[in-house]
Chains A and B, each alone.
Chain A
């Protein structure tokens, strides 16, 4: 088995592609957990459709930096470069909706800017931005309905947007080699998220948008406790039966 090229040994362009690919792969895996378990059958299909879009993006991005299967199934926690927001447990439907809102608004801005760079990732970004616009719409529709729904749905949606807020700052850390001014997108993101939350009668969270760990976060390979269990489930079959397929 050839060893997977470490993120540190990649060119900045490829390291950035791997980071974005890991975001998409890990979030796809999380969304897949809703298969058969969503509040209604229709939502089950909607969430897994989104997961499949993300998985497609992940395959394209990761294939640029190595063998997609080896990258998905044979790396350990610290070798993944996804943001921590992507790896957090799915929680309840409000938690998943809040993450989808935060992440899809970010991804839509990112891919639109990336498509404009005209670089190697521009064609992928141009295709993905259309998919992500739908993901954002889906998250927005549910945020509005849960925030401006019943007393209970409002309370749980507010708790979800508050709880995930501290993972949103990492999304806009500069990413070398991408050619996109991520910190420059942050104010636009805040504005768009605040607009949706406002229409949903929710309060924009006021606390810090970074976790207090000085060591950095997902982009530096530092992950949350729940990530190990996600990888165990994702990688178990391949590690037990190398090269298994059906």
Chain B
């Protein structure tokens, strides 16, 4: 192979897998692929080969805007002392899962 290797040339994709109907997609990991269709197939081979999923999303890593560690305090600190925001003051009926 001449020139740059695929690892350098191919964009990075973030993979989200939904384990079962009713659950949300959760981040499973990342991979390299030349385009979205191949990313979907690579994700199938890398992250669902032990029957982990019923649905896959792939997103270009560059499309994700993440909060910065420097902004951790302004972002998250104010929520720490407000327990009344947590919905913990009532009983969850039996049979309700994944809440």
Q: Find out whether the CB atom of A40 lies under 8 angstroms from the CB atom of B38.
A: no
Q: Find out whether the CB atom of A42 lies under 8 angstroms from the CB atom of B49.
A: no
Nearest residue, chain B, Cβ from A40: B6
| Closest-CB distance, B45 to chain A (whole angstroms) | 5
Q: How many A-B residue pairs have CB under 8 A?
A: 32
Per the bound structure, the CA–CA distance linking A137 and B35 in Å amounts to 15
Q: How many residues of A contact B (CB 8 A)?
A: 13
Which A residues are CB-close (under 8 A) to B38?
141, 145
Q: Find out whether the CB atom of A42 lies under 8 angstroms from the CB atom of B33.
A: yes
- How many B residues touch the partner, as a band? 10 to 19
Q: Restricting to B1-44, which residues have a CB under 8 Å from any CB of A? A: 1, 6-7, 10, 31-35, 37-38, 41-42, 44
Residue B46 interfacial (CB < 8 Å): yes
Which A residues are CB-close (under 8 A) to B10?
40
Residue A49 interfacial (CB < 8 Å): yes
| Closest-CB distance, B92 to chain A (whole angstroms) | 39
| Closest-CB distance, B32 to chain A (whole angstroms) | 6
Q: Find out whether the CB atom of B34 lies under 8 angstroms from the CB atom of A46.
A: no
Which A residues are CB-close (under 8 A) to B34?
145
List the interface of chain A (C-beta within 8 A of B). Answer: 39-43, 45-46, 49, 134, 137-138, 141, 145
